Amino acid sequence: MNVRLRDAQPGAASQLEVPARALSGEKARPLLQVDDVCRLFGPEQGCQEVSFTLYPGEVLGLVGESGSGKSTLLSTLSGRLPPDRGRVRYRDGADWLDLYAAGEGRRRALLRTQWGFVEQNPRDGLRMSVSAGANIGERLMAQGARHYGRLRQCALEWLRHVEIDAARIDDTPETFSGGMRQRLQIARNLVSGPRLVFMDEPTGGLDVSVQARILDLLRNLVREFDLSVILVTHDLAVARLLADRLMVMRRSRIVESGLTDQILDDPQHPYTQLLVSSILQV
């Protein structure tokens, strides 16, 4: 069979393609607006002078070494740690919600419906003593789902999404491997159809072979569900694979930001150059 590019001509292509709307409509409107956020525990410890805009469907990587303030920034962005100064605003439909000016109830509701948080250690993000099915169903139950059969159907569907054998639905995560636990945690977060997911070193504690699987899974899920992600990682290979763009943190400040491959292939800031040149080539 011979491929002819005739069907790839602009006219013909329009029958196959979704019209290019990347920068128009819903996607053109920011999802998260961060203005001069500062949370310090000591001089240059924590994060400061952080401002950026996140758009729907964007995967933003926060990279930098330990102690650079990545995790503090993530906590502040995700509603877990009020900033000393500055504002985090989230667009919920047509309304802008000031995260820390909003009530606790609104913030929590947001955290368990439109947002997700994938912890580095799945023990922190899962209920270890209840079954995988209940772990997945909890967000739905919190939103009022009251049909056991449908909750199970949904749990089974999500186990499939994260490549966990359906037969394990009634087992507790205590009996799961580290990689399975992490995949279960991902399912538990995504079941509510969040628009924005925070991830703190999601592959941090895992073996390399297990990491690859999680990364592949995350890549596909991000695309399939059109998620916006803010990802903290110190692993630049993970950042390259998952992130559309990067912010490089050093001593509580963003020192450089830009397109992921541009930051990694043509770093401008001396610190980024050091960081990138320190990667071992395999």
Partner 1 sequence: MANMSETPQPGYNFAYLDEGSKRMIRRGLLKAVAIPGFQVPFGGREMPLPYGWGTGGIQVTASLITPEDVLKVIDQGADDTTNAVSIRQFFERVAGIASTTRTREATIVQTRHRIPETPLEPGQIMVFQVPIPEPLRFIEPSETETATLHALSDYGVMHVKLYEDIVRHGHIATCYAYPVEVNGRYVMDPSPIPRFDNPRLHMSPALMLFGAGRERRLYALPPHTEVVSLDFEDYPFEIQRPEAACAICGSTESYLDELIVDDAGTRRHVCSDTDYCQARVKAREAAA
Partner 2 sequence: MDAILKVSGLAKTFVLRQPRDTVIEVLRDISFAVFPGECLVLSGPSGTGKSTLLRILYGNYLASGGSIRLRQETGWIELAGADPRCVLAARRHTLGYVSQFLRVIPRVTALDVIMEPALLRGYAKEVAQAKAEALLVRLDIPEKLWSLAPGTFSGGEQQRINIARSFMVFWPVLLLDEPTASLDGKNRQIVLELIEEAKAAGSAIVGIFHDAHARDAVASRLLYMKDEKERAHVT
Question: Where along the sequence are the contacts to partner 1 (CB under 8 A)?
Answer: 104-105, 108-109, 112, 127, 130-131, 133-134, 137-139, 141-143, 146-149, 151, 170
The entry of partner 1, partner 2, none that residue 66 binds, CB within 5 to 8 Å by partner kind: none
- Per CB under 8 A, the list member of 18, 167, 280, 282 interacting with partner 2 is 18
The first and second tokens of residue 181, run together, are 């636990």
The entry of partner 1, partner 2, none that residue 265 binds, CB within 5 to 8 Å by partner kind: partner 2
Question: Min. distance of Cβ 2 from partner 1 in angstroms?
Answer: 56
Q: Does 281 bind partner 2 (CB under 8 A)?
A: no
Q: Does 26 bind partner 2 (CB under 8 A)?
A: no
Question: Min. distance of Cβ 171 from partner 1 in angstroms?
Answer: 10
Q: Does 268 bind partner 2 (CB under 8 A)?
A: yes
What are the φ and ψ backbone dihedral angles of 121, each rounded to 5 degrees?
-95, 115
What are the φ and ψ backbone dihedral angles of 205, each rounded to 5 degrees?
-95, 15
User: Rounded to an integer, what distance in angstroms lies between the CA atom of residue 226 and that of residue 129?
Assistant: 31
Q: Find, among 132, 258, 138, the residue nearest to 184 by Cα.
A: 132
Question: Min. distance of Cβ 161 from partner 2 in angstroms?
Answer: 15
Q: How many residues does the chain have?
A: 282
Shorter beta-carbon distance to partner 2: residue 19 or 103: 19
List for the chain the helix, strand, coil content (%; round to 5): 40, 25, 35
DSSP string for residues in 114-158: TEEEE-SSHHHHS-TTS-HHHHHHHHHHHTT---HHHHHHHHHHH
- Per CB under 8 A, the list member of 91, 168, 213, 251 interacting with partner 2 is 213
- Per CB under 8 A, the list member of 51, 143, 153, 273 interacting with partner 2 is 273
Q: Does 280 bind partner 2 (CB under 8 A)?
A: no
Shorter beta-carbon distance to partner 1: residue 41 or 148: 148
Q: Find, among 180, 216, 192, the residue nearest to 140 by Cα.
A: 192
User: Rounded to an integer, what distance in angstroms lies between the CA atom of residue 98 and that of residue 118?
Assistant: 22
The entry of partner 1, partner 2, none that residue 149 binds, CB within 5 to 8 Å by partner kind: partner 1
User: Rounded to an integer, what distance in angstroms lies between the CA atom of residue 161 and that of residue 37?
Assistant: 36
Q: Which residues, other chains included, contact 168 with Cβ-Cβ below 8 Å and sequence gap of 6+?
A: 132, 159, 175, 176, 180
Question: Min. distance of Cβ 168 from partner 1 in angstroms?
Answer: 12
Shorter beta-carbon distance to partner 2: residue 152 or 240: 240
Sign for the pseudo-dihedral over CA of 257, 261, 264, 270 = negative
Region of 13-21, 85-93, 113-121, 137-145 interacting with partner 2 (CB under 8 A)? 13-21
Shorter beta-carbon distance to partner 1: residue 139 or 245: 139
Cα–chain center distance at 248: 17
Region of 20-28, 143-151, 153-161, 194-202 interacting with partner 2 (CB under 8 A)? 20-28
| Binding residues for partner 2 (CB under 8 A) | 1-10, 13, 16-18, 20, 22-24, 55, 58, 212-213, 215-216, 219, 223, 241, 244-245, 258-259, 261-262, 265-266, 268, 270, 273-274, 277
